[in-house]
Copies of this chain bind each other. A is one copy, B any other.
């Protein structure tokens, strides 16, 4: 019986990302291969802070799937709940890198992503219950059996932080209304919800213990009970904005576990996101605590 600091549940993929910046997939000539998927990246980011992290997801039964296990272990993320789905290829994701603010994604997740084949009866509900932070995403609600599994996991939760990453991606849904319906099913079981303005538009007005709204150039707004905090963005030369949100998420897990006050936590999360935005990679770019603190100090002195 092991208790994890952080268990995340959701997407995984092989990110096949350009080695050239500022060009479209029409012009790019070569690619690197990286671990990807939002909730997976959050586990990687949390592990970088020394947190004991695991992720629940599924891959294809193929060499790309084996690579994802290697990469998870390399990042110190427990892969015991990462299982193969025969007959479905491991998803690959291409992107284009147009700094500072345009990073289109091209998902190859058809006919179905293995990570949407997470079955409720295969969950280790004891481990999920005991995890100090449990992190799920709205994408996990987009299809069955992952939807039922995600809700079953949420219902199993005991004490601790239960986070819903609003992570709303229109291409995974028939409509925003459909997403809103399932977000509203999940919200009663979580005590932290985090998303950007568009994602909160999908979620609607939610009564959650800790609400975090990422507002891009306007910084971050957080509310816990009567306490509200607004922190400005950390100025950074953006190289690749992809992964910044997951870096924020990993930092949030770390801050929640550390018991930091709201402002300190939001400043740290913001800076962690800024560090990753200033780097080309995503999972490989997740910072250690001293790197985030250096970025924070740099921002204060700027």
Contacts and interface: CB of A to CB of B under 8 A. Distances in A.
26 contacts: A19-B30, A24-B63, A25-B63, A25-B64, A25-B67, A26-B63, A26-B64, A26-B66, A26-B67, A28-B33, A29-B32, A29-B33, A30-B30, A30-B32, A30-B33, A31-B31, A62-B106, A64-B94, A64-B106, A89-B108, A92-B92, A92-B94, A92-B108, A108-B108, A108-B110, A110-B111
A237 B89 CA distance: 32
Contacts of A70: 26
A16 interface: yes
Interface residues of A, number: 26
A165 interface: no
A96 interface: yes
Nearest to A68: B26
Contacts of A25: 62-64, 67
Contacts of A24: 63, 66
Contacts of A31: 16, 30-33
Interface string A90-134: 001010100000000010101100000000000000000000000
Contacts of A19: 30
Contacts of A94: 64, 92
A64 B24 CA distance: 9
A110 B113 CA distance: 11
A61 to B, nearest CB: 12
Contacts of A16: 16, 31
Given A29-B32, A63-B96, 11 more contacts: A16-B16, A19-B30, A25-B63, A30-B30, A31-B32, A63-B106, A89-B108, A92-B92, A92-B108, A108-B110, A110-B110
A108 B89 CA distance: 8
A31 B18 CA distance: 9
Contacts of A66: 24, 26
Contacts of A89: 106, 108, 110
A46 to B, nearest CB: 25
Nearest to A19: B30
Interface in A208-249: none
A19 B96 CA distance: 20
